[in-house]
Structure 1
Amino acid sequence: MLNRFTFDGALASPLRSAHANSFPWLFAVSYATVSSLGLLLLLFLGRSAFVSIAETIEALDRIDVDQVEPFTFLRLILGSFAPLFPWILLGSFGAWVIWSVFQAASQRRYVRDERFFLRFGGDELRMMVVSLLWGGLQLVFTFVPIIIFLGGMLDVVALILSGDDDPRLVGRVMTTLLMGGFLWLILFVVYVFFATRLAPSFALTIKERRICFFDAWNVSRGRFWPILGAYLIWSIGGGMVVSVIDQILQIPLGMLMMPHLDSLQTGEELMTLVMSAGFLIPLFIYTFLRMFAAGLLMHAVAGPAAFAARHDPRGSVDDKAMMGAFD
Structure 2
Amino acid sequence: MPTRFSFDGALSNAFRAAHMRSFPWLFAAAFALVVTIASLILTYLARDTFMEVMSGFESFAETASDEPDPYTVFSFFFGMMASLVPWAIAGGLGYWVIRAVFEAASQRRYIRDERFSLRLGADELRMMVVLLLWWLLYTVTFGLPVLYIFNGVMGIFEIGIDDMSEEEMARKMIPLVFGGMGLMLLVMPVYVFLATRLAPCFAMTIKDRKIVFLDAWNVSRGRFWPILGAFVILSVGGGIASSVISQVLQLIILMPFTGSMNNVQSAEEAFGAIFSPSFLVPMAIYGFATSFMSGLLLHFTGGPAAFAARHDPRGGVDDAAQMAVFD
Which bin holds the TM-score, normalised by the shorter protein? over 0.9
Question: How many residues matched?
Answer: 325
1:244-271 Cα deviation digits (max 9, x unpaired) = 1111111123322124322323343333
Distance in 1 (alpha carbons) for counterparts of 2:148 and 2:202: 32
SS of aligned partner of 1:298:
helix
Q: Distance in 1 between matches of 2:163 and 2:95?
A: 40
User: In the aligned structure 2, how far is the partner of 1:198 from the partner of 1:234?
Assistant: 18
Change (3 A) 1:275 1:185: closer
Identity across the alignment (%): 48
Correspondence for 2:293: 293
Instruction: Find the aligned partners of 2:179 and 2:271 in 1 and give their Cα distance.
Output: 45
Shift of 1:76: 1.4
Amino acid in structure 2 at the alignment position of 1:250: Q
For 1:161 and 1:112, how far apart are their aligned partners in 2? 65
Report the 3-state secondary structure (helix = DSSP H, G, I; strand = E; otherwise coil) of the residue aligned with 1:65: coil
Partner letter of residue 304 of structure 1?
P
Cα separation, partners in 2 of 1:283 and 1:17, compared to 1, 3 Å: same
Find the counterpart in structure 2 of residue 209 from structure 1.
209
| Unmatched tracts of structure 1, length 5 or more | none
CA distance in 2, matches of 1:161, 1:252: 49
> In 2, are the aligned partners of 1:148 and 1:177 still within 8 Å (CA)?
no
Distance of aligned partners of 1:205 and 1:304 in 2 relative to their CA distance in 1, 3 Å threshold: same
Q: Distance in 2 between matches of 1:79 and 1:248?
A: 36
Given that 1:54 and 1:266 are in contact with CA atoms closer than 8 Å, whether structure 2 keeps it comes out as no
1:6 alignment partner in structure 2:
6
Output the aligned Cα RMSD: 2.1
After TM superposition, the structure 1 stretch with the greater mean CA deviation from structure 2, 171-180 or 303-312, is 171-180
TM-score by length of 2: 0.93
Matched, 1:34 2:34: yes
Aligned-partner residue type, residue 90 of structure 2: L
Q: Deviations over 1:46-95 (max 9, x none)?
A: 11111111211121121132474221122113322233222111111111
Q: Distance in 2 between matches of 1:117 and 1:236?
A: 28
Q: Give the structure-1-normalised TM-score.
A: 0.93
Q: Which residue of 1 aligns with 2:185?
A: 185
Structure 1 residue 173: deviation in Å? 4.9
Contact residue 219 and residue 308 of structure 2 kept, 8 A: yes
The correspondence of residues 52-131 of structure 1 with structure 2, limited to 5 A, is: 52-66=52-66, 68-131=68-131
CA drift at 1:172: 6.0
Equivalent position amino acid for 1:37 in 2: I
- Cα distance in structure 2, aligned partners of 1:126 and 1:25: 25
Tell me by how many angstroms 1:150 deviates. Answer: 3.0
Which consecutive unaligned segments of at least 5 residues does structure 2 have?
none
Aligned-residue offset at 1:149? 2.5
Report deviation, 1:306: 0.5
Q: 2: distance between equivalents of 1:53 and 1:273? A: 16
Counterpart of 1:197 in structure 2 is 197
